[in-house]
Amino acid sequence: MDEADALEALSEVLNKLTENPYDISLHAENVRLAYATRMDDQIHSALDMVTAFWAAGDNVWLPIIERRLQGTLESAEDLQAVLDLFDRAEQDYLSFNILQKHLEFLINQYERINTSEMKPAHLANLFSTEWTSAAISSVVSKGMGHLTKSHLLWDIRRDWEFELLQNATDRDKASLTDAVEAMLLERLQQPHSSSYSAYSSFTTNYKPPDQYEALLVKASKLRSQAVKSYEKREAFETSLEKAGFSLEAYAYYIAAERRKKPDLFVLGALYERAIAEADRRRFSGEAGAEDSLRAFWIGYVDFLRTQDADPDVRAATFRRALKSVPVSGEVWARYIRFLVEAYSRIEAIGPLQSDVEQLVPIILARAGYEKRRLEATQTAEAGFDVPVLILMDGLTKVNKASPSGDPRLRLEKYLSELLLDLADLPEQAIEMWEDATKRHKASYLTWTAYTDVLIKQARYDDARKVFSDIAMKNIDWPEAIWDTWLSFEQLHGTAEDIDDCLDRLDRAQIQVNARRAKEAEKAGYAAMQIASEQQEVADVIRSAHAQAAASEPVAMDVDTPQSGTKRKAEDDALPEDSKKAKMETKPAPLKRDRENCTVFVADLPMGVQEDELGALFKDCGAIREIKVTQLPNSLVATVEFNERDSVPAALTKDKKRVRGEEIAVHLAWQSTLYITNFPEKADDTFVRNLFAKYGTIFDVRWPSKKFKSTRRFCYLQFTSPSAAQAALELHRHEVEPGQLLNVLISNPERKKDRTDSDANDRELYVAGLSKFATKDDLEKLFKTYGTVKEVRMALTDDGHSRGFAFIEFEQEKDASAALAANNFELKKRRIAVTLADTRFRAKNRDPAQREEVRNRSLRIRNLPADTQEGLLQQVLEKLAPVKRVEVFTELNEADVEFENAADAGKLLLLSDPIMYNGKALELSAGGPGGPSASRPVAPSPSTGGMFVPRAAASRPRAGLGSKKRGVGASAAGTPSTSQPTKGSSQDDFRKMLSGGSSR
């Protein structure tokens, strides 16, 4: 990107930042573009803008500090300005680079000022010996909790203090000796990885000889506890380093520390380290770093609260956290409970106002504070107007943020309790719930809450009317409504009311059963229809490729393992109709229906195990698999049944209690989005950052590009359907000029609308080409049907056609129209045109080509379980252009084919390991070929590296309308008598495979 383009792009980013300064990805892009302009004022402006809205790491602060240090440093104001910059930088995140720079500045300025003939009077006490010693001690203390790096700071302080002691006058030496001894003894009691020899040297040089032994014994006792403390954590520090200081490794280390009696000195520093690493990864765009950063801050402030930390320390930590993760509702909620004055700052943060899950905890905390304040000050008689107004205003904000509001009705429940029990406004509570039922028409939770309020106010007729109206409606859990109605009638109704209720419930049950059966039948039919269509397409393509294989020497295979690659001789003798009969008597079995058979379980209490969920869902049907997943802030699970008929019963478990807490159960596909038409450069980080504001992301699944490199779609699953619904606002969103994003709910009944099958529908397979046909011939022919995107023709070594090609159109309709070219005569040959099956690829390359592929391929081992091919390819493409990735799940290994051998060789020479999902990948040279791949041995050199085909006289011509010659005898069930006029016979071919000679 040249400077002009960079300036134009920078202007666009600045406009976006003006509207949304709380988007960290925009700031990162702003900094990157500013550096691209190579203009110092743009770079400094971008860096300053980051620090104005966000906490920043040393990648932002160090250039700012370096720029300031290059200015004049003569006046007290100049020096204080630099010191203030260091303080601001150190308040954001723990950075040893900044702390070391700070110490270097203090010592250099001390030496400069105090070695001059006369210290400037205007500096007063600044950079005096006492002031400098205290300043150095303060800087060093900020990094003392880092067990493996604290010596980098402490050694600087020790050397400076020792130099002062050596040069001290006799009058000052005694006090300095005591100060240094206190410093050394304090260090002995701190766990760290460096040696403890400094105190021994100090005692030898500055203490009386007769005290040496007693002092060392005392020091040994003091340091013993610190040594034990370090030894307990040494294994964790080693594991952390081996894991590349991954966020998962930090989370594991922190969890281990919190399980035992926490040490504020160690755990506080560990949180600081984890937070700094998470911010660094977030700024670089790593997926999941934002969620981890929020989780670390929440854990840190909660830890300080449980340790009864000093209120000033907690207040400072909250301010730092809010500058680091200003869009975290949980951090805001905790801060409001600690310091309610912060509430006014929330209004200025746009993204927070559009995220229901982050917004609701803030409103509840604010209303709860006002409620407790009124109760504590005994001013309740003045009314609860303030918390009521806060909640009503909060409901407006939530409904504005999401059309579906809060499906858990947390604000409505709180407001209802206030109106009924404290404010004595029952009519307003009834009106509020009536409005809620209009917004949540299918929610049993809303209707039961509404009727509960009516019953509490003794409005039995109104409650009965509501029950009667909704009994036959399509509610998400009608059984809950029916049970509530029946209980109500048994308490407050007459015998006739009970009989009428039971009659209506019987009719409702019949209606619901019929509806569910119809839905199940419809879904089952749709699944069978899809399977049938896929089978029909596969039959057509398989037939076309069989014809191409008969006329061309190139063998093909597909991405799914086959029983064999050579067609059996008996099959050659079967007539067409017998083959069809055989195929029809053995239809392809239906695939595992994950989407229709899986429910998603959210809001699980921490620590829930798979067997607990198995016990909860066992009465719904046979369970195939349960997976429990720990997310940064929540625990979720997926439950897959053998049959889709089990799902309706499983959905009735919604709002059930596990370990005393309500859980949420929904169809997995309801919270899953199908996303396509994003920029080609978009990766997992891009998608996660774009959709993170709508809710917690459970998973992003990417397609394999093994057989088609142009596939560009993904599936993104949230933990709640409401988040997925809210994210639909990005549908048709312009991510780049003229490029509109497609975002749809991944409904399995509309599978064709949410796959890349249209990509295959835009590509044609052309067989039976003359050896003299060229790409220009094909382009000229097929462009008459529409815009041709690409023509890929298989060529021999001398540049002639190998008989087949692939034509890709821009539009599906053009490809469909081009099917009319089937049986068209081109260069005196009838061509066959069918839809392409992109899973087919050339199998028998010549030895030189196979060797070339092997040279630019690597085998990768030590992959994490369930590695996605598409995601792995994204990671590797950041290092070198990748042509193909194939993962072997059962081995946790993969074959990777790069664009050139040089890139593959460079990766083998990397000194640092490639990290993927917290694991260091192991790379080794080796050609492609997995455990299920059958790689044929090359034929003998006498054949020129290729199998010699039968003579043309024995081959049928391609094309549906061409006359078939030489196959009549075979069709009748007898062997063909035509003999090849040239080349090896089939017997010779068999001998060659068995090791014998054909000549």
Q: What is the pLDDT of residue 106?
A: 94
Nearest to 206 by CA among 180, 242, 240, 235: 180
pLDDT tens digit string along 164-175? 888 888 888 888
Q: Which of 35-49, 139-153, 361-375, 671-685 has the lowest mean pLDDT?
A: 361-375
Decide if pLDDT at 932 tops 60. no
Residue in the structure block whose two tokens are 């104005």: 52
pLDDT tens digit string along 757-798? 455 578 888 988 998 899 999 999 999 999 998 888 888 878
pLDDT tens digit string along 906-923? 888 888 888 888 888 988
Contact 51, 64 (CB under 8 A): yes
Q: What is the pLDDT of residue 291?
A: 93
* Contacts (Cβ under 8 Å, ≥6 apart) of 597: 624, 640, 641, 642, 643, 644, 646, 647
Query: First-to-last CA distance in the chain?
Result: 63
* Contacts (Cβ under 8 Å, ≥6 apart) of 143: 94, 96, 99, 149, 150, 152, 153, 269
Decide if pLDDT at 447 tops 90. yes
Q: What is the pLDDT of residue 988?
A: 45
Decide if pLDDT at 144 tops 70. yes
Which amino acid would we find at residue 66?
A: E
Q: What is the pLDDT of residue 119?
A: 63
Mean pLDDT, residues 446-465: 93
Determine the Cα–Cα distance for residues 501 and 487; give it in Å rounded to an integer: 10
Split at pLDDT 50, 70, 90, the class of 677 is: confident
Contact 680, 712 (CB under 8 A): yes
Decide if pLDDT at 381 tops 60. no
Determine the Cα–Cα distance for residues 133 and 859; give it in Å rounded to an integer: 56
Which amino acid would we find at residue 648?
A: P
Decide if pLDDT at 384 tops 80. no
Mean pLDDT, residues 345-352: 66
SS (H, E, C) 282-344: HHCCCCCHHHHHHHHHHHHHHHHHHCCCCHHHHHHHHHHHHHHCCCCHHHHHHHHHHCHHHHH
Residue in the structure block whose two tokens are 């920029």: 679
Decide if pLDDT at 120 tops 50. yes
Determine the Cα–Cα distance for residues 572 and 567; give it in Å rounded to an integer: 8
- Report the predicted TM-score, pTM, of the whole model to 2 decimal places: 0.42
The pairing of beta strand 739-740 with beta strand 742-745: unpaired
Residue in the structure block whose two tokens are 């107004």: 389
Nearest to 598 by CA among 651, 635, 552: 651
* Contacts (Cβ under 8 Å, ≥6 apart) of 421: none
Determine the Cα–Cα distance for residues 818 and 762; give it in Å rounded to an integer: 10
- For the chain, give the percent of residues with pLDDT over 70: 80
Q: What is the pLDDT of residue 485?
A: 94
Q: What is the pLDDT of residue 911?
A: 81
Determine the Cα–Cα distance for residues 150 and 154; give it in Å rounded to an integer: 6
Decide if pLDDT at 326 tops 50. yes
Determine the Cα–Cα distance for residues 681 and 322; give it in Å rounded to an integer: 32
Q: What is the pLDDT of residue 571?
A: 41
Split at pLDDT 50, 70, 90, the class of 639 is: very high
Mean pLDDT, residues 937-960: 39
Mean pLDDT, residues 530-544: 56
